Amino acid sequence: MKYKHHECTGNNCVECKAYNTDHTGRRNLARKEYSTDKEKAEKKEKDRLYYSLDLQKVRMLPEIPGSKSTVFTQRICAYNETFSPVGKRVGDSYAILWHQGIKGRNDEDITSAVVKFLVKLHCDLKEITIWMDN
């Protein structure tokens, strides 16, 4: 947050350099860890799973492309939390779907989707690694 609220003094700004160095270091470390997990996933150990989680684009239903009348039509938001295995051809993908009449997309709702996914696996695992962007 400090980076977003400072007044930049130009190309030699100490705060900007510190932020960029820290950000680049964390990004490189995350990429390295993800690659390591990808290699582990492709070994197909039976007691470990590696998944990537992503909340897909919110869909407005019904979708009627090219029609201006839909601007004034009541619609409902649909959410899709996707769980994809890390690595090539490692396992099944899962999607948890819900609409705004059930829940929204705040922290508790996303956590609820993760819990549903873990319950769906219903197996004895030593480790489950889930990669998320936020």
In a domain, 120, yes or no: yes
């897909």: which residue's tokens?
56
For residue range 4-54, list pLDDT tens digits in order: 566 676 667 777 777 777 878 888 898 999 999 898 888 887 788 889 998
On average, the pLDDT of the chain sits at 81
pLDDT of the residue at 68:
63
Q: Which domain holds residue 46?
A: 14-131
User: For residue 53, what is the DSSP state?
Assistant: E
The answer as to whether 6 is a domain residue is: no
The two structure tokens encoding residue 66: 């090219």
18 found inside a domain: yes
Within-domain flag for 7: no
Residue 78 scores a pLDDT above 60 = yes
Does residue 93 fall inside a structural domain?
yes
State the pLDDT at residue 33. Answer: 92
Which stretches of the chain are assigned E, i.e. beta strand?
A: 48-55, 59-61, 76-85, 94-99, 127-131
Residue 128: phi, psi to the nearest 5? -125, 120
Decide if 5 is inside a domain: no
**Domain-located, residue 9:** no
pLDDT digits (tens, 9 = 90+) for 96-122: 888 888 888 888 888 888 888 888 876
Contacts of 55 (CB under 8 A, 6+ apart): 79, 80, 81, 82, 105, 110
- Establish if 87 belongs to a structural domain: yes
Q: Structurally, how many domains does the chain consist of?
A: 1
